[in-house]
Chains A and B, each alone.
Chain A
Amino acid sequence: DAKTTQPPSMDCAEGRAANLPCNHSTISGNEYVYWYRQIHSQGPQYIIHGLKNNETNEMASLIITEDRKSSTLILPHATLRDTAVYYCIVRVGLSGNQFYFGTGTSLTVIP
């Protein structure tokens, strides 16, 4: 699976959009981009995933560049409860292959 690079930490003001970048320059054509987050001492929570097109759900939006070498997770109106470590993961397809976590971005939402 392709490696990902994320900034170690970011701050965001409450109510503003949080934009979390992820670099996956070695991604293959059949690898999806997944985003999970982990609130302190809990299991990771699924946020969103995509292949090539931008995706949106009730939690977030995922913007994938045309060359697919990077992506951005957008939390449109960050709340204090969005403070967590956000992980960007790329892996092949939707099969039962392993999920390897990188170092993630620690997002702090500031009141």
Chain B
Amino acid sequence: GAVVSQHPSRVICKSGTSVKIECRSLDFQATTMFWYRQFPKQSLMLMATSNEGSKATYEQGVEKDKFLINHASLTLSTLTVTSAHPEDSSFYICSGTQGIGYGYTFGSGTRLTVV
């Protein structure tokens, strides 16, 4: 079946630095990628939607200048958390789909800790 590979699985960074998270679709072309954030004991919150070759669409309340999303190819999307702060510590998950008629495949998630 379809697989989305997400890296790194865990990252610790210092406050003020930037962190990049990568998601690759291994055996399908992901025309659309979604990025979610999940705080402890809470549900997944959709952050943004990105279509290959286009600018990402952010959900209300998500700062687009802080969470930079790039979806330059059909198999790779990246999320960069810029100038990270401790409150950005969370579990970040990506999801990809080939588009109409296809389901959604989720990555295994990235646990970000900002110290």
Q: Are A and B physically bound partners?
A: yes
- Interface residues of chain A, those whose CB is within 8 Å of chain B, are 36, 38, 41-46, 49, 87, 93-96, 98-104
Residue contact B111 to A41, C-beta cutoff 8 Å: yes
B interface: dominant SS:
strand
Residues of B within 8 A of A44 (CB): 44, 93, 95, 106
Q: What's the least CB distance linking A43 to chain B, in Å?
A: 4
Residues on B lying within 8 angstroms of A by beta carbon are 4, 6, 31-32, 34, 36, 43-46, 49, 51, 91, 93, 95, 97, 99-109, 111
B8 to chain A, nearest CB (A): 14
Contact A87 B34, beta carbon cutoff 8 Å: no
In the assembled complex, the CB of B54 is this many whole angstroms from the nearest CB of chain A, namely 12
List 18 contacting pairs A-B, 8 Å CB cutoff, sorted by A. Answer: A36-B106, A43-B6, A43-B95, A43-B107, A43-B108, A43-B109, A44-B95, A45-B106, A49-B103, A87-B43, A94-B101, A94-B103, A95-B100, A96-B32, A98-B46, A98-B49, A101-B46, A103-B43
